[in-house]
Amino acid sequence: MEIEIMPSPIKLSEIYAAIKDEIVIDGCSDYKLIEKLVLGKFNFKLVSEQVWSLLNHHKKQMVKIDTVDADMVEIVILANSVKHGQHCVAGKCMSTGRWIRPVSNPQGAELSHEQAKYRNPYGTYGVKPLQKIQMGFSRHVPLPHQPENYLIDGNLWHQNFSIGLGELPQYLDEPVDIWGPDNRVQHALITSGIYSVSQSLYLIQVERLRLYNKDGGKRRASFSYNSIAYDLAVTDPKFDEIVKDNREFNHILCVSLGEEYNGYCYKLVATIF
C-alpha cells in the first residue's frame, strides 16, 4: 500500500547504510537488494514500507528517493498562462507525446512564481513556451475535467535547450472539435460521466484568428477550427504585447479546459504562437 510521500528526500546510499545490517533477503544483505525494493512509477522512485519502517521506528510511511536528472521527465513547454495571478504550465512529454500539466496540489492548483522556475548554466529563470524542461513529479493526480495533472515534487526544474517555432506542427493535435461547439462545458456533465474529457489540452492550427479586448479590457480570441467558430477568453501573458505591437502569429493555439467556475469549465486560449 502506498501512503503519502514524506517531504524530505533520502538518498539510496543513506538507506543502505542505515539498514544494511538489519535486512537480509535470500540469505544475504547487499546494496543491490535495497535497490530491488525500490518501485518505479511515473519516472520517480519510492522506497517500500518495509524499508521505511526500519528507518523510522516502524512507521508505515514512504519516502521519496533523491533522484538524478535521468529520472526526471522532459517536457516541451506549450503554455505558461495566467491563473489567479500565478502560473498554469503545461506541455508534452518528449518521450511519449502525452500532455502533462504540473500542479501544486491534488486539487489542480496553479504554480507559484518560484515553482515555475528552471535552472540552466546561466542562472534561474521563469519557464517559457518552446523550452524543453526536465521536471520531477510525486504522482499522477487526475481530475475529471483535467486528466493530465501531475503533482510536482518540489525540486527545481532544469532546461535542456528549446525547440523552434518551425517544429511546432509536429506537436499538433487534431481533435474533431474542442470540447464541443460552445465556450464552456457544464461541470456536472463531466463529473457524472455523461461527458467524458479524455484530455483537457490541445495544440491546434486555427483559421481566421482575431485578438481583441471586450468589456473593459477582457482579452478574447475569435477563430475557426474545423469549420466551427469559437470566441474564448485568453490567459496568455503575452496577449497585450502581441496586440500592441501588432505582431504576426502562426495561427497555432494551445487551448485548455479550465477549472470549474459557477458550474462550468470554460475553454481558454493559454498560448498564442
CA 91 from centre of chain: 7
pLDDT of residue 139: 93
Stretch 66-73: mean pLDDT: 51
The angle subtended at Cα 173 by Cα 168 and Cα 175, nearest 5°, is: 155
pLDDT of residue 41: 31
Q: pLDDT, tens digit, for every residue of 134-145? A: 999 999 999 999
Q: Which residues contact 233 (CB under 8 A, 6 or more apart)?
A: 183, 218, 219, 220, 266, 268, 269
pLDDT of residue 188: 97
Segment among 59-68, 71-80, 175-184, 203-212 with least mean pLDDT: 59-68
Strands 157-162 and 117-120: parallel
- How far is it, in rounded angstroms, from Cα 233 to Cα 109? 19
Place of cell 547504510: 17
Determine the residue type at 190.
I
- How far is it, in rounded angstroms, from Cα 117 to Cα 159? 10
In the predicted structure, residue 270 carries a pLDDT above the cut 70:
yes
- How far is it, in rounded angstroms, from Cα 111 to Cα 118? 13
pLDDT of residue 217: 85
Mean pLDDT, all residues of the chain: 82
- pLDDT-derived band at 179 (thresholds 50, 70, 90) equals very high
Per domain, the residue ranges of the chain are 5-67, 70-163, 168-272
- CATH 2.40.50, domain 168-272, yes or no: yes
- How far is it, in rounded angstroms, from Cα 262 to Cα 273? 30
Stretch 69-73: mean pLDDT: 63
| 93 contacts 38 by C-beta, under 8 angstroms | no
- pLDDT-derived band at 72 (thresholds 50, 70, 90) equals confident
Stretch 59-63: mean pLDDT: 30
In the predicted structure, residue 54 carries a pLDDT above the cut 70:
no
Q: Which residues contact 225 (CB under 8 A, 6 or more apart)?
A: 177, 178, 204, 206, 207
Segment among 13-22, 53-62, 108-117, 240-249 with least mean pLDDT: 53-62
pLDDT of residue 30: 42
Q: What percent of the chain has pLDDT over 70?
A: 74
| 221 contacts 253 by C-beta, under 8 angstroms | yes
Segment among 18-32, 51-65, 138-152, 155-169 with least mean pLDDT: 51-65
Alpha-helical runs (H) found in the chain: 12-19, 31-36, 49-55, 187-191, 239-244
Place of cell 500500500: 1
Q: pLDDT, tens digit, for every residue of 198-246? A: 999 999 999 999 999 998 889 999 999 999 999 999 999 999 999 999 9
pLDDT of residue 29: 39
CB atoms within 10 A of CB 210: 9
Cα distances from 251 to residues 82, 128, 207, 265, 273, in angstroms, run 20, 19, 7, 24, 7
pLDDT of residue 186: 97
- pLDDT-derived band at 48 (thresholds 50, 70, 90) equals very low
- How far is it, in rounded angstroms, from Cα 212 to Cα 221? 6
In the predicted structure, residue 70 carries a pLDDT above the cut 60:
no
Stretch 162-171: mean pLDDT: 96
In the predicted structure, residue 18 carries a pLDDT above the cut 70:
no
Cα distances from 85 to residues 112, 170, 215, 216, in angstroms, run 9, 31, 20, 18
